[in-house]
Structure 1
Amino acid sequence: MTSPVSFPVSVPLHGGPDAAGIPVFDFSTNSNACGPCPEALQAVQVADATRYPDPAYTALREALGAFHGVAPGRIVVAASASEFIHRITALAAQQGAVQVAVPPHSYGDYAQAAQVRGLDVVRGGGAAGGVQWACEPSSPLGLEDPAVRGWREGEEGEVVSALRVLDCAYVPLRLDAEGSWTGAPSPRLPSVSWQLWTPNKALGLTGVRAAYAVAPAGGEDAVQALTALAPSWPVGAHGVALLQAWTSPMVQQWLVHSLGTLRDWKARQQALCTDLGWAVQAGSLANYFCAQPATATLQGDLAALRASGIKLRDATSFGLPGTVRLGALPPDAQDALQAAWQALQGRTIPNRVSTGSGETS
């Protein structure tokens, strides 16, 4: 009798709420702090949760296909980006893949999905014959992924055997002039790769779990294979409403307008971190950045900040010990961070931050 394969049980590290509840000032996520987008939120709130969605997501795939200028047959609806990461990795394993290539510093689910299926993880290498991952801009550093440039430059006449997947989670949240979102996907994105989109971050609605992927031209067979690997109704009524709203011109107009505000908040926040003596990592293109706080007791300091209602993302799990990632937040949150850090370094722990409802977090 064959013994079952066992895997170590571990809880993936993510930003956002945790066992301590909802942080009062949450720098640990990359969600658009200008959100939620009012029109998208309304669409979610009025969604009809009394009925199943269309199991084929016909209208939704048509709308997403039109938004990207592709046939609906190239759209795969997913429960979340993480769910799609696991599903496409399962497909690669099913097809005989033995390796997955991930960026040197990247979202942990890429590697986790490979490891639980017994696939080797190649960091910083793009030659794996299974799945090749890239993120534009990268997380946690917010830099341009060099793999994307290579994919784009090698498009013409290139035969690609691997499943190349571009994680587009932060494409709509780029703040640089060259790559700033204009309300539609950029033609600069490589057409030879899959594109994985998670609009909930850009719309400030990360609690609504829904995503989709756009297959490269000629990838319809892979779309069918991925659909066959999915459970019935991977996305519920609220997720469908969010993805439908994503294609709305009014929602896109709100998003474009929000980028100017995020740009100002990010510049102020980087200057504040510099004033605190932190070494700010240069070059981030997105609404987040990394920094190295000037402390020899970072883990304890982060725990003390969390106890006072302020959460930062420890970047150790990204392979960057001694570093934190901060999403750009409004000035009041920045000022709270500054006061709490200065009090902490003076060895005076600040009062717990009020939630505004008489409670503390």
Structure 2
Amino acid sequence: MGVIEHGGPDALGVPRWDFSTNANACGPAPAVLRALRRCDAARYPDPAYQALRESLAALHGVRPERIVISASASEFIVRMTAAVARRWPSATVGAPRPGYADYAAAARAAGLALARRDQRARLAWHAEPASPDGGSVPIDACGAGTVQVIDCAYAPLRLTGAAPALPAAAWQLWTPNKALGLPGVRAAYAIAPAAGEALRERLAALAPSWPLGAHGVALLESWTQAATHDWLRASLGRLARWKQRQLECLSGLGWHCRPSVTPFFVARWDDGPPLSATLARLRAHGVKLRDAASLGLPGWVRLSVQPPPAQRALLDAWRASARPRGRAPAPPRSAARQTRRGGDSVNRPYP
């Protein structure tokens, strides 16, 4: 599919203050991190992933044969699109716009056309909650003849409101690495609808051997454990407090932020230089935001909720970037005190 723009590390390296990815800023989840350190990478995983599929099935209350293991959400998107293209060569694909660019990229790579808004698609992608804006709306069933897939990547990170019921005939795609603060560990799984046996078989035929390595297995096994979900629930309260503080800070700068149910949202500002120039200046100060143009929302940025020290760095970088040339810089803020806990650097104080 070629290189698609994403957040995170870039040609300048790892951003010191990274608002550009949607990973849980409270992570990594300690229990998952311990499991990753213990996992045995000297041996192959079970190629059928039987024990893992049983654990994931128990978590969701479904039969194990309905669990489809995938190397990542992106790999599943490509594989599902290829399976639909082989079965229906003239199929059209419905992709949310704005939305994750991989849906449309996979369709183009498979030689499939994107469906118009008024056109019924053979393969329809949805996200709940949505990206890039973190919105949430009810999703209607597409009806017979359409393969409907709900991307649930951000469902575990919902901060407010009840999750809407998902259509029973839809596939669900789960990628818990972002919720656990470990996006570098690639692992995903899908839950097939009860009547999805034929498509499950096509997906299995297209799968590589061992789509998951030992670390991906360890992450998904940890995802099924109660301790991991206890940590996740606690992190959501902290993220909600950070989000309120971050929104207040950005409002004070004159930014316009869209409401969201997630620890990420989209924002824009009316005045100043072009967006690309502003983002480059912020990046030069160690702060990275995500240009939402590649997500179908030009003129906006997507940014995740980050701890107060990162928020202060964003404010300082914004003011420095907006300062007229020749003006002396303001004295730097004192660095936040760093402590060590569980091997990870923790900024203090938290709100």
Q: Which residue of 2 aligns with 1:280?
A: 257
Matches of 1:249 and 1:120 in 2, distance apart? Answer: 43
Q: How does 1:1-361 map to 2 (within 5 A)?
A: 10-96=2-88, 97-122=90-115, 124=117, 127-129=120-122, 131-146=123-138, 148=139, 150-151=140-141, 159-179=143-163, 188-281=165-258, 283-293=259-269, 294-347=271-324
Give the secondary structure class of the aligned counterpart of 1:199. coil
Q: Which residue of 1 aligns with 2:341?
A: none
| Amino acid aligned to 2:17 | F
Q: CA deviation at 1:126?
A: 6.8
Contact 2:161/2:261 (8 A) holds in 1: no
Matches of 1:210 and 1:242 in 2, distance apart? Answer: 8
| Amino acid aligned to 1:248 | Q
Q: CA deviation at 1:125?
A: 5.3
RMSD (Å), alpha carbons: 2.1
| Amino acid aligned to 1:227 | A
Matches of 1:350 and 1:93 in 2, distance apart? Answer: 58
Matches of 2:213 and 2:75 in 1, distance apart? Answer: 14
Matches of 1:101 and 1:350 in 2, distance apart? Answer: 50
Q: Which residue of 1 aligns with 2:342?
A: none
Contact 1:102/1:124 (8 A) holds in 2: no
Normalising by the residue count of structure 1, what TM-score does the alignment of the two structures yield?
0.87
Q: CA deviation at 1:191?
A: 1.7
Offset from partner CA, 1:263-287 (integer Å, 9 cap, x none): 1111111111111111111x31111
Contact 1:174/1:285 (8 A) holds in 2: yes
| Amino acid aligned to 2:262 | A
Q: CA deviation at 1:224?
A: 2.0
Give the secondary structure class of the aligned counterpart of 2:115. strand
- The change in CA–CA distance for 1:127 and 1:350 in structure 2 (over 3 A counts) is farther
Contact 2:157/2:179 (8 A) holds in 1: yes
Contact 2:169/2:195 (8 A) holds in 1: no
| Amino acid aligned to 1:28 | S
Percent identity, aligned pairs only, is 52
Matches of 1:270 and 1:127 in 2, distance apart? Answer: 38
| Amino acid aligned to 1:280 | C
Listed as ranges, the gaps of 5+ residues in structure 1 are 1-8, 180-185, 357-361
Normalising by the residue count of structure 2, what TM-score does the alignment of the two structures yield?
0.90
Offset from partner CA, 1:53-90 (integer Å, 9 cap, x none): 00000000000011110000000000000000000000
Listed as ranges, the gaps of 5+ residues in structure 2 are 339-351
Contact 1:100/1:132 (8 A) holds in 2: yes
Contact 1:75/1:223 (8 A) holds in 2: no
| Amino acid aligned to 2:179 | A
| Amino acid aligned to 1:25 | W
Q: CA deviation at 1:145?
A: 4.0
Contact 1:265/1:328 (8 A) holds in 2: yes
Matches of 1:196 and 1:295 in 2, distance apart? Answer: 40
Q: CA deviation at 1:321?
A: 1.6
Q: CA deviation at 1:10?
A: 4.5
Q: CA deviation at 1:19?
A: 1.5
Contact 1:103/1:123 (8 A) holds in 2: no
Q: Which residue of 1 aligns with 2:346?
A: none
- The change in CA–CA distance for 1:76 and 1:350 in structure 2 (over 3 A counts) is farther
Matches of 2:213 and 2:332 in 1, distance apart? Answer: 38
Matches of 2:75 and 2:332 in 1, distance apart? Answer: 36
